[in-house]
Structure 1
């Protein structure tokens, strides 16, 4: 999940008792929290207690950090038996058209849920995120509804999701505190996420009409 956490918000998705969420938008300066950012949160993971914060409720664009919620809903769907790790996910024209950070999947290509989650976690792949959204909810729009419902359940009051991958759309925002909330939920409910979120390199195999080719995830 290196790329997801390197953009507007930095969240420590390791199995540690503290979650740090930080926004680097606009002018910032160091403060007593130890972060050089416009807004930040230091949260104790088990209890959810905020240890330090600065402008924690400021709503800002969060780019690929959006995929933390996408992953949370993927793991929810696996837990609930709505999908399983070996399901074949078919890439739609819409998913393949995402651009930005991607693994260059072709229309009609199929990958397992397991490999799609690897692509999201390791390569921050927009195409994989949208393909999974469609696989779970039937459409990206339907999945976004689930994202916003989950955000409400988690108490994320300063968050509005408008897509599944974090591409910049006006009004698609969250806050340092809300990012900490969804990160905490992901880590507490699915500690196995640490396996892929701490993997720096892996591979998938593209299987298309042109044949098979190995693709590196970084």
Structure 2
């Protein structure tokens, strides 16, 4: 009789345990088996964020210092890009200014061809003059088609010649899925890019302070304040760290956006092409940028132009020259894997004049686990001219006496 009671109690206990476990979610059942009842597995492990889905036809996240692709969807598909085209227009204009070919206070005269442009514009009149700076602001903020043509004609003599320069630049950058037919992005046959190619164009533009200044401006004005400019890239207001980019929309291209954001030294370039409804290019870009910043971390070693040592110079008007980083020294790593990187500086022992500013004089090397993961050129920070024979003799005499 006592044995039967004990067996019934054991059976009842087993039944209660079965009912309890059967009612738990899968994660909690595994926890129960391992001694962590009521705690899901994902709360015990540092799980990476889930890879997002996007409604964009094509998209890419690019970390520009390492060229690491963080996220991709049809990144090489050839697609129309609408006014995102103007990133290349701005790039060529900024390069022309940086090279000293043009000045920001140059007067740009509006042609009949520029005046006839439809779509987004600042309503230039034939013969109307604005400074090159004002025209560039109109392109970067207002996405003005008329200003794009006016600037193209001012720089290259005609829009056709400027478009050829745009395609030449695309080839120089190694872009195989991009072809321009105009400088503004209105729908045209054979006018296309890819998400990856456009990310590279934005990356190239970000090298120039003037380009960064224009594309980061939220607002400005023309005609003595009579015409207000608002940047069409609303991420500048809505997304923490957003600092550059260009929007686009046509019936053919749908909603497009190339953008850039930086947080804690990590810059990510995001391109989405072909999102379907108003505002979707901002929503999808935000989703992808959130994923990139949640998953990766920048490990920064030196800023561009940082001096990391000096090299002795023989027979020069100066006896030393500073070695500087040619670009930012940084690597990107998954969060949790950012430790263990080491760096070293490799410099020439001695240089003979003349030394040219920008001349490669060494390398800044980053390693992990004994393997090289990053190498950046070190360049001479200044010119060092060669001394004359008389100056060399005088230097010897001064040293002796």
- Structures share fold, TM-score greater than 0.5: yes
Deviations 1:65-106 (A, max 9, x none): 000000000011001111111100000000111110000000
Distance in 1 (alpha carbons) for counterparts of 2:137 and 2:53: 32
Aligned partner of 1:215 among 207, 223, 227? 227
Tell me the secondary structure at the aligned position of residue 43 of structure 1.
Answer: strand
The reply on whether 1:144 has 2:163 as its aligned counterpart is: yes
Question: Hey, what does 2:134 align to over in structure 1?
Answer: 115
Q: Does 1:82 align with 2:101?
A: yes
Residue-pair matches, total: 181
On the 8 A contact 2:86/2:143 being kept in 1, the answer is: yes
- 2:138 partner SS: helix
Secondary structure, counterpart of 1:158 in structure 2? coil
Give yes or no for the alignment of 1:135 onto 2:147: no
Report if aligned partners of 1:33, 1:53 keep a CA contact under 8 Å in 2: no
1:55 aligns with 2:57: no
Q: TM-score, normalised by structure 1?
A: 0.79
Q: Secondary structure at the match of 1:123?
A: coil
Larger Rg computed on CA atoms? 2
The two structures, once aligned, show a CA RMSD in angstroms of 1.5
- Within a 5 Å distance, the mapping from 1:6-25 to structure 2 comes to none
Corresponding residue of 2:196: 177
- Structure 1 partner of 2:345: none
**Structure holding more strand per residue:** 2
Contact 2:88/2:201 (<8 A) preserved: yes
| Higher RCO structure, 1 or 2 (CA under 8 Å, sep 6+) | 1
Structure 1 position 194 matched with structure 2 position 206: no
TM-superposition CA deviations, 1:103-151 (whole Å, max 9, x none): 0000000100110111001100000111000000000000000000000
Q: Structure 1 residue runs of 4+, over 4 Å off?
A: none
The partner residue of 1:154 within 151, 173, 193 is 173
Ranges in structure 2 where 5+ consecutive residues have no aligned partner: 1-49, 231-401
> Could you tell me the TM-score, scaled by structure 2's length?
0.44
Does 2:82 align with 1:70?
Answer: no
Show CA shifts across 1:175-198 (max 9, x none). Answer: 0000001000001x2134333222
How far apart, in 1, do the equivalents of 2:98 and 2:185 lie?
24
> In structure 2, what is the equivalent of residue 35 of structure 1?
54
Matched, 1:204 2:216: no
> Which whole-Å deviations, capped at 9, do the CAs of 1:1-41 have from their partners, x for residues lacking one?
xxxxxxxxxxxxxxxxxxxxxxxxxxxxxx93453312111
